[in-house]
Chain A
Amino acid sequence: MSILHWVVLAPFLYAIIIPILFTYMKRVHTGWFILPLPFLLFIYFCSKIPTTSQLQTDVFTLTWIPSIGIDFSLMLDGLGMLFSLLITGIGTLVILYSIFYLDKAKEKLNQFYVYLLLFMGAMLGIVLSDNLIVLYMFWEITSISSFLLIGFWNNRRNSRNGAIKSMVITVFGGLSLLAGIILLYLMTGTFQISEIIASVQQNSIMTDPLFILAMICVLLGAFTKSAQFPFHIWLPDAMEAPTPVSAYLHSATMVKAGIYLVARLSPVFAVSGYWLWLVSIVGIVTLIYGSFFAIKQTDLKGILAYSTISQLGMIMSLLGIGAAGVHYESETTYYIATAAAVFHLLNHATFKGSLFMVVGIIDHETGTRDIRRLSGLMQVMPITFTISIIGAFSMAGLPPFNGFLSKEMFFASMLNILEFNLFNMQTWGLLLPIIAWIGSIFTFVYSMILVFKPFAGAFKPEKLATKPHEAPIGMLISPIILVSLVIVIGLFPDLVANTILSPAISSIYGGGSYDLHIYHWHGFQPELFMTIGVILAGILLYKTREKWTTIYRVFPTILNRLYDILRFKTEGSFNSLTNRYMVGSLRTYLIYIFSFFVFILLLTMILKDGFTSDLSNLAPIGAYEIGLSFVLIIATISILFAKSRLTSIILLGAVGYTVSLFYVVFRAPDLALTQLVIETVSVALFLLCFYHLPKNARKKESIPFKLSNAIVSILVGLVVMLIAISSYSNKLFGSIAEFYVENTYKKAAGENMVNVILVDFRGFDTLFEIAVLAIASIGIFTMIKLRMGGKKSENK
Chain B
Amino acid sequence: MKINNLVLQTVTKIIVFLIFLYSVDLFFAGHYTPGGGFVGGLMTSGAIVLLLLAYDLKTVRKIFPVNFIYVTALGLFISFSTGMIGIFADKPFLTHFFHKHVHLPIIGETSLHTAALFDLGVFLVVVGVTMTIIQTIGEDD
Q: Which residues of A contact B (CB under 8 A)?
A: 669-670, 673-674, 677-678, 681, 685, 688, 748-752, 754-756, 758-760, 763-764, 766-767, 770-771, 773-774, 776-778, 780-781, 784-785
Contact = CB atoms under 8 A, between A and B. Distances in A.
Nearest to A673: B39
Nearest to A670: B34
Interface of B: 26, 30-39, 42-43, 46, 69, 72-73, 75-76, 79-80, 83, 93-94, 96, 98, 100, 111, 113, 115, 118-119, 121-122, 125-126, 128-130, 132-133, 136-137, 140
A759 B125 contact: no
A760 B115 contact: yes
Given A760-B96, A770-B76, A774-B128, A752 B32 contact: yes
Contact of A770 (B26, B98, B122): B122
Contacts of B37: 759
A310 B35 CA distance: 89
B35 A755 contact: yes
A644 B115 CA distance: 47
A763 B126 contact: no
Nearest to A689: B137
Contacts of A669: 34
Interface of B is mostly: helix
Contact of A752 (B35, B72, B93, B111): B35
Contacts of A756: 31, 115
A757 to B, nearest CB: 11
Contacts of A674: 38-39, 42
Contacts of B83: 763-764, 767
Contact of A755 (B31, B80, B126): B31
14 contacts: A688-B137, A748-B96, A749-B100, A752-B30, A758-B38, A759-B122, A766-B122, A770-B121, A770-B122, A774-B125, A777-B128, A777-B133, A780-B137, A781-B133
A781 B35 contact: no
B76 A771 contact: yes
Given A670-B39, A781-B69, A764 B93 contact: yes
A773 B128 CA distance: 10
B34 A774 contact: no
A763 B78 CA distance: 13
Interface of A is mostly: helix
The residue among B73, B83, B136 with the most chain A CB atoms within 10 A of its own CB is: B136
Given A677-B43, A770-B76, A759 B36 contact: yes
Contacts of A771: 76
Contact of A670 (B35, B79, B96): B35
A767 B79 contact: yes
A767 B38 CA distance: 12
Contacts of B96: 748, 759-760, 763
Given A673-B35, A685-B133, A780-B136, 5 more contacts: A748-B96, A749-B111, A770-B79, A781-B69, A781-B133
B130 A681 contact: yes
B86 to A, nearest CB: 10
A748 B80 contact: no
A750 B115 contact: yes
Contact of B31 (A677, A751, A778, A784): A751
Contacts of B132: 777-778, 780-781
B44 to A, nearest CB: 11
Contacts of B128: 774, 777
The residue among A677, A759, A771 with the most chain B CB atoms within 10 A of its own CB is: A759
B48 to A, nearest CB: 13
Contacts of A766: 79, 118, 122
Contacts of B130: 681, 777
Contacts of A763: 83, 94, 96, 115, 118
A684 to B, nearest CB: 9
A759 B133 contact: no
A487 to B, nearest CB: 86
Contact of A774 (B72, B93, B98): B72
A749 B112 CA distance: 9
A758 B34 CA distance: 12
Contacts of A770: 75-76, 79, 121-122, 125-126
A766 B37 CA distance: 11
B19 to A, nearest CB: 12
